[in-house]
Structure 1
């Protein structure tokens, strides 16, 4: 037999001839192992990301609490600063309050516009549907 000829079925040892069922069983087992490995990898990556997210969330909570308690002091300081420029104290606080209300309205409008742009994950849905269709055609 030369190097370019393919071995015939009777030339191949019996133990290396495997049935289609055995090949399918091995492929299924290998696919299952691959999927489990991918899931374990995803779990380990997610676990690391969760730890980082928890640390970041803690820092944001502390920063938010500090800003929350500083906000009234800064508001009063701004109002008294405007009063020091010669405006009455009532008008100074009204200006500060009005500025905050205007900012709140603008942020609210921005939030509404942002929520209107939220759409379902079209690429993920399409990819999942294609995968399901492919798997149905294979089976």
Structure 2
């Protein structure tokens, strides 16, 4: 009979680190696969929604054009020359565009970088090392 060395019940630190690394890698891969499968469903639904919104926006553009012509012709019923009537409609749209641009620029100036997210993201490597910031 040959004598066998007793098998150690406690794993070594190297094995524990290897196991944690393997498990963490597996967990991340599974999370990525889950995210991909969820995104496929979301992208399909989002794509269909975007297509329907694009068609609705095109139809709305046609409605705005036809409404502009209608308003112009209604102004001619007051006795205005058609050129002046359509110039008034065009001026109205120009004023609306300038107002929207002004409000849009003011909103853009309020956009800031996500400083809290940047700060917490910088703390992740420290947290993974087991240190508290």
* TM-score, normalising length: structure 1: 0.77
Q: What residue number does 1:6 align with? A: none
Q: Is 1:52 aligned with 2:53?
A: no
Residue from 93, 99, 117 that aligns with 1:100: 93
- In 2: Cα distance, 1:106 partner to 1:87 partner: 30
- In 2: Cα distance, 1:109 partner to 1:119 partner: 19
Q: What residue number does 1:20 align with? A: 13
- In 2: Cα distance, 1:55 partner to 1:39 partner: 24
Cα RMSD (Å) of the superposition? 2.1
Deviation, structure 1 residue 121: 2.5
- In 2: Cα distance, 1:87 partner to 1:120 partner: 55
Q: CA 1:57/1:72 → structure 2, altered by over 3 Å: closer, same or farther?
A: same
Deviation, structure 1 residue 124: 2.6
Deviation, structure 1 residue 15: 4.4
Deviation, structure 1 residue 138: 4.2
Residue from 68, 73, 89 that aligns with 2:61: 68
- In 1: Cα distance, 2:121 partner to 2:90 partner: 51
Any unmatched runs of 5+ in structure 2?
1-5
More helix by share: 1
Q: What residue number does 2:3 align with? A: none
Any unmatched runs of 5+ in structure 1?
1-12
